[in-house]
Structures are given as structure tokens and as C-alpha cells.
Amino acid sequence: MSIAEKIEDLREKLRHHEHLYYVLDSPEISDTQYDAMMRELDVLEKAHPEFLTPDSPTQRVGGKPREGFVKVPHSSPMLSLDNAVGEEELRAFDQRLRGLLKEGEAYAYVAELKMDGVSMAVHYRHGKLALAITRGDGSIGEDVTENARTIRAIPLQLRGHIKETSSDREARGEVVLNRKAFEKLNAEQEAQGARLFANPRNAAAGALRVLDPAITASRQLDYFTYFLLADGAPAHKTQWEALEALKRLGFKVNPHSRRFEDIDVLVAFCKEWEEKRDSLPFEIDGVVVKVDSVEQQNRLGWTAKAPRWAIAYKFPARQEETLLESIDVNVGRTGAVTPWARLKPVNIGGVTVSRATLHNEDEIERLGVQGGDRVLVERAGDVIPKVVRVVRQGDHRMPFRMPKSCPVCGGEIVRVEGEAISRCINTNCPARLKESVLHFAARGVMDIDGMGESLVSQLVDSGLVKNVADLYRLTLEDLVELERLGTKSAEKLLKNIESSRQRPLPRILNGLGIPFVGERTAQFLADAFGDLDKIATADEEELQRAEEVGPKVSQSIRRFFHEKHNRELIERFREERLPFKYQAKRKVGGPLAGMTFVLTGTLPALSREEAENLIESAGGKIAGSVSKKTSYVVAGADPGSKLDKASALGVKVIDEAALRELAERSG
Ligand code: IVH
């Protein structure tokens, strides 16, 4: 096979597997196999740039951020639909239609779920993606081609028959974000202190219209098609055939679409989905009903804004207005203090709602909401209801203020600068104790084998463990009292707890659960101070002498040791004789001094931790990502993208054997 053939062969295979994965949702190969194939293609294309084409599967995110969007006209207007609310109005639509057609003329409907997203038109020339346009005002939209390319459900090249792909086609459909991706996105926004999206539709609209395609790519948008056009007009005789053709061309079509000849069955279908809407991974807000025959569609025609041959059966809104009685806070498993709205109970689509989430202080400010206001509340799927907006301000308003002390334990509540979330920083706060104990005992922290979720739950619930130091007071009698713990396991567990007393200071520091102090920072702190008491009493400036500790981290450490309960815990640790002192292991010199290493893939003999220890004890440093400053990338089996980065930057790549050799050279 020539290089060009090899490249085309890989592209074909990748397109096939992308279609299976992203469109049909039934992959045949593992992600690793897919990634390997993609990398192989990428390497070949980089070595032979003369063969690179924009429709290659490697070119989903090629574009650079742009300055703005170019306006482009649609091939024919993208109209909207008239609504039918309830069965009566749907039947009235059917009657009207019957009147417009010939006496006794047969007709059929195609019903499609009305996905709640934003519509977009995608044009193909000679079978290749050429242009993607937002709906805009219906006549003119914006060119978002580079962003659309990042959506995996949009083929860069049409599949199927030459006959269909030789001429130009336009697919119209809905860009959506599924609920999971939406929740994840909002969680990320929240963690970064960024604004939350009100619903998946807004999030999809935003992601489609960002100037940097890399952001669109990260949002996991999806695309479901419902029209197939040639020169602005339907390319097929019926809507049903169009949906079939769209599937053959490689597009996603909502699998719940159906064809009906009987209005009663159609009504039943609409009602069924009204009931079942929560079971879908996507938000839908109704059912779109279209006359199947294009010839009949043309005879029925259009009004100024909508076709006469189609209607949107709208589900009742799941938003209701009610009184927001007060804003209270809840302390979560990680100590996060989240405000929530106590509501006058209200029925929203069959469910009584008496509380709604408000996420954080910024969200409250954005909404401008206070206790006593009338608010609009929305319920979507099984997610916690949320406040959409203030409808009318109350006469006696009560502004929200984040409490200074935790309502559960009285501990100090802290909001670190630049963070959206406030936290109770008492590690032993009952609201977060289980989570604290699990973290303390975890692998790589204090390594207490056998300390799993159900055991921790029992220990905390029974009152045996009120703070992590209590673990060291547990007796055999205590433990055998617990459900499902035999004498043998109890003895073993006690032994494991006992041996955890030997863990060095960095592990203890990590185990405390200080915000922003993980394994790495804990090590740097121990290296720099060598004594827990010194760390606990150092001021911010002193703390910043430790490697990688900046203002945000030092502030967090200061506040942690300022908190009364945490100081008590340190005293308990002292009584338990946990090692407060630490002798920095790292050699100043060593054969790897001044070198930075990045690890990727699975090494043949060394675990990741062992490899890191080897490097560090020989004086080298570990970095998380490859840069020009990286001395070596150590690669094992199934390496990640770090390897590509290394070759792009010309960083040397070595294997485990070569690493050992370097590390063992004498000085
Ligand atoms: S047909 C001329 N089909 O709902 C017909 N629209 O108000 C125009 N939508 O703007 C649209 N799923 O954003 C059609 N299967 C579907 C749809 C659908 C969702 C959206 C679309 C459109 C709005 C109609």
C-alpha cells in the first residue's frame, strides 16, 4: 500500500467507527483502539502534509479562534412552527388540514420529538461539509462551520450512495446538549466561579457561537437532523423518506420518530411522550407533527412565519411561580456550603416542589433574588428544581448573607478568593466527616487497607469516630460490635490502622483535606518546613517559600490551621504520636538533578509511584505535561497524547530501561 492509500484506508476506518460510536451509539472497537488508529493517521499526516485534507477525521478541531462571525443567507427561510397546546388544539389542526385538502383525500403524518436545542443548517458540496449556518433571523444566519466541524455527530463527509453524495445537500436539524453533559458543564462552570447556564438549550446556543472552536469541541454537543434539502427544497417526496435518507448519509435522526395515518394514534403518541419525557437523555419540549407528503405540503403552503402543514404539540411548561420564603444553606459531603430556596409548595407538572437549588452566592447575585420574592421555578428531568428568575420583588425582602459559621458544627465557613463555593473547613464537621475519614484512610494517603465506605459509615453513625484521630482509639471490642465485621477482619483492620501511624508527614498533611493541598503540595510543604507545627503556625508569606505555594494555597492553609476544630485535631494527632517531623528525602544533587521528566503510558516493571520515586530520589523533577523545558518523556505501553506533544516539541523520549540507566549513573 502506498502512503496515500494507507492514509485513505485509515480515514475510511475511522469514519466508519465514528459513525458507529457517535451516530448509532454502538461501537465495535474500544476507545483505545480508536485512539491508536487516530494517532497512526495523525503521525502519517504530519509526516506527509501534502496529503492532509480538511475532511480528515483528524481535522475536527483545526480552526483558530476567530474575530467574529460572517453573516450568510439561508437557501430558503428557516421558519418556526405554530403551537398546539393540548389534545384539543392538535385535533383542531388536523380538522383544519382536512378542510384544506381535497374531500376524502388520504394523508399521513410524521411525528418527531421536539428536541430543545438550537437549529442549524449544514451544507455539503460534492459530499463534503462546506458550510454550517445558525438559524439567525430565519433568513440570514451566521457561519459557524469551524464550530460545527467539532460536533462528532456531524459527518465531515457524507456516507452512502454516489447518487446522493454527488449533488449538493443541506441537512437541517437541532444542536443539543444532553442532560449529563449539561450537568457536567455547569459543575465545571461552578468550580471555576463562572456563570451557570440556565438550561441545555442556552448552553448549546452558547457553545455553538463561541469564537474558539476548541471550546465548542469541549462541550460535547450533539446534532439531530430533521430536514434534507437540495437547492433549498425537500430532496425527497416524503418526510419519512428524507429521514431514512439522512440516516443513510450518516446523520443522526431521533430514533423515536414515527409515521401515523390515524389522528387518535398520533394523539396517544404525543401523550405518551409527555409522560415519558424524563426518561430521555435529552430535554424535549414537545412533538413536531408534519404532513408526510411533500406534494401535499406544497399545496397546503405557508403563512408568513410558519408552514400550514406542520405544528408543534407543546408539552405544558414545567415552570411555575411561587413564593420564595427564605434562603437557607446546606452543607455537603465535601464541606461545600450551598444556598437553597425554601419555597411555598407548588405543583409543577405533577410534582410538588418545596425547595430549589441556588448553587452559590454568585448565582443569587445574578438572579437578584431575596427572601420574600415571587420567583419562577423550573423542574427539568430528575434534576433538583431551580429558580429561573424573580417575577416580582417582595415587600419585605431578606437579602441572603453567607453564614460565618457552619450550621452543622459551628466551624468556620470560608470562601477562597476566586472560588465560587464557600466551605466549612472543619475537617471533622459531621456533614463531611465520612468523606474526611475516607480521604484520610485512602490509598496513597494514610493507606489504611479495609477502611471502605460501609465501614466508615458504621463508624461515624455509631459515634465511635467523631474525628479522624478517633481511628487510633478504636479497640477490638468496638469493632466486633459492628455489623458484618468478624474478629479476624477486625484484628486485621486494627493492625492496618496501627501501621498507618508510621506514615510520613506529607501523607498526614494530605490526609487533613486542606483545600488545594493534595499529594504534591503536601510534599513541597514537608520538604520546605520539615515540621507540622511550623507549617501550622507559619504566616502566608512564609508558607509561600514552599515550592508551588502561591497566595491562594497559602491563604487556604492559614485559614485551615486558624480554625479551632482543626487545631484541636492537630493536638489529638500529637497525643497519638503521629510523626510531626520530616527529613526531606530528596537529594540536592543526584544524577538527575536539574532534569524534568514526564511519564506516559504503562511501564513494564515500575508502577507510576515507583517511577516517580526513582526519579525524585535521584534528584529529578516530575511534571504533568510536556513543554520545551521537559528533559525526557518516559513512555510505556499505550502512551497518551504526551508522546505526540514530545515529538512535536522535539523532546527526547526514553523507555524504562533508559530511565534506570540515567538514574543509576554515579553522580
Ligand atoms: S421543523 C418549518 N422538526 O423547534 C419547520 N423543528 O418552532 C421548522 N425543533 O426552530 C422546524 N425538533 O429549533 C422541526 N423535529 C423537529 C424539531 C424542530 C426541534 C425546533 C427547531 C425549530 C423549532 C420550531
- 621-658 pLDDT, tens per residue? 888 889 888 999 999 988 888 888 898 999 999 999 99
Highest mean pLDDT among 107-116, 349-358, 378-387: 107-116
Protein residue with its CA nearest to atom 9 in ligand 1: 114
**Choice from 119, 122, 135 to test ligand 1 binding pocket (greatest atom count within 8 A of CB):** 119
Q: How far apart are CA 128 and CA 447, in angstroms?
A: 55
**Does the beta carbon of 307 lie inside 6 Å of ligand 1?**
yes
State the Cα angle at 157 between 154 and 163, rounded to 5°: 120
Could you report the per-residue pLDDT of 47-68, keeping only the tens digit for each? 999 998 888 999 887 667 777 8
Alpha helices in 255-321, H assignment, sequence order: 263-276, 294-300
The confidence score (pLDDT) of residue 427 equals 87
119-134: average pLDDT: 95
Residue 286 Cα to ligand 1 middle (Å): 10
**Average predicted confidence (pLDDT) for the chain:** 91
Question: Residue 240 gets which letter from DSSP?
Answer: H
Handedness of CA 182, 185, 190, 191 (dihedral sign): positive
56-82: average pLDDT: 87
The confidence score (pLDDT) of residue 163 equals 57
State the Cα angle at 275 between 270 and 281, rounded to 5°: 95
Instruction: Find the range with the poorest average confidence among 269-273, 313-317, 464-468, 487-491.
Output: 313-317
Half-sphere exposure (Cβ direction) of 366: Cα atoms closer than 13 Å = 15
User: Which residues, in sequence order, are CB contacts of 500 under 8 Å at separation 6+?
Assistant: 441, 446, 447, 448
Residue 312 Cα to ligand 1 middle (Å): 8
The model's pTM: 0.63
Q: Is the pLDDT of residue 452 over 60?
A: yes
Protein residue with its CA nearest to atom 23 in ligand 1: 80
Q: How far apart are CA 130 and CA 153, in angstroms?
A: 16
**Does the beta carbon of 283 lie inside 6 Å of ligand 1?**
no
The confidence score (pLDDT) of residue 161 equals 56
Could you report the per-residue pLDDT of 88-115, keeping only the tens digit for each? 999 999 999 999 999 999 999 999 999 9
**3-class DSSP assignment, residue 237:** coil
**Does the beta carbon of 312 lie inside 6 Å of ligand 1?**
yes
534 is catalytic: no
Residue 97 Cα to ligand 1 middle (Å): 19
Q: What percentage of the chain carries pLDDT values higher than 70? A: 97
Residue 418 Cα to ligand 1 middle (Å): 40
Instruction: Find the range with the poorest average confidence among 75-79, 133-137, 199-203, 455-459.
Output: 199-203
**Does the beta carbon of 517 lie inside 6 Å of ligand 1?**
no
Residue 513 Cα to ligand 1 middle (Å): 49
Cell numbers linked to 98: 382536512
Give the residue with greater pLDDT, 421 vs 471.
471
The confidence score (pLDDT) of residue 651 equals 92
Protein residue with its CA nearest to atom 10 in ligand 1: 80
Could you report the per-residue pLDDT of 507-558, keeping only the tens digit for each? 999 999 998 899 999 999 999 999 999 999 999 999 999 988 999 999 999 9
**Does the beta carbon of 72 lie inside 6 Å of ligand 1?**
no
Q: How far apart are CA 124 and CA 169, in angstroms?
A: 5
Considering 114, 252, 314, 621, which one is annotated as catalytic? 114
The confidence score (pLDDT) of residue 299 equals 96
User: Which residues, in sequence order, are CB contacts of 319 under 8 Å at separation 6+?
Assistant: 348, 376, 377, 378, 379, 388
The confidence score (pLDDT) of residue 190 equals 75
Long-range CB pairs of 442-449 (<8 Å, 24+ gap) are 444/510, 444/519, 444/609, 445/507, 445/510, 445/511, 445/519, 446/500, 446/503, 446/507, 446/508, 446/511, 447/500, 447/503, 447/507, 448/493, 448/496, 448/497, 448/500, 449/496
The confidence score (pLDDT) of residue 162 equals 52
Protein residue with its CA nearest to atom 12 in ligand 1: 114
Could you report the per-residue pLDDT of 584-621, keeping only the tens digit for each? 765 567 889 889 999 999 998 888 888 988 898 888 88
258-285: average pLDDT: 93
Q: Are 224 and 280 in contact (CB under 8 A)?
A: no
Protein residue with its CA nearest to atom 2 in ligand 1: 79
Q: Is the pLDDT of residue 316 over 90?
A: no
**Does the beta carbon of 175 lie inside 6 Å of ligand 1?**
no
Q: How far apart are CA 151 and CA 208, in angstroms?
A: 10
The confidence score (pLDDT) of residue 63 equals 64
Instruction: Find the range with the poorest average confidence among 134-143, 163-172, 201-210, 455-464.
Output: 163-172
Q: Is the pLDDT of residue 382 over 70?
A: no
**pLDDT category, 664, cuts 50, 70, 90?**
confident
425-432: average pLDDT: 90
Q: Is the pLDDT of residue 31 over 60?
A: yes
Protein residue with its CA nearest to atom 8 in ligand 1: 80
